Amino acid sequence: MPASQDLADFFDQFDPDGELFCTPLDVTLDNRNVLQPDLLFISSTRKHIVLKDRIDGPCDLTEQIEVDLLTYHQHVHGMGRYFHN
């Protein structure tokens, strides 16, 4: 089972009516602070902050996935091969 399914199953048990989102989705904290975390969870009691094009307020959980620069470079370089063939 993919890790993403494990994560979705966990949150489904934790709060079945909550929502789990993946990037790209803007999280607007105020007029000057707009973030785009990799993963975010909004509990069922706070679903009113979920708008059509963004999350309007702080999330219950956010996660930023860190990737080291060498791994990122290798991934981007490798992906380029698919587009040039």
pTM of the model: 0.71
Residue where the block lists tokens 């708008």:
51
Position 84: which residue type? Answer: H
Predicted pLDDT at 8: 83
Helices within the chain (DSSP H only): 3-14, 69-84
Mean pLDDT along residues 81-85? 48
Predicted pLDDT at 49: 97
Confidence of residue 64 (pLDDT cuts 50, 70, 90): confident
**Three-class SS state of 84:** helix
Residue that wins the pLDDT comparison between 76 and 25: 25
At 16-60, the pLDDT tens digits run 999 999 888 999 998 899 999 989 999 999 999 999 999 999 999
Predicted pLDDT at 50: 97
The domains of the chain are located at 3-84
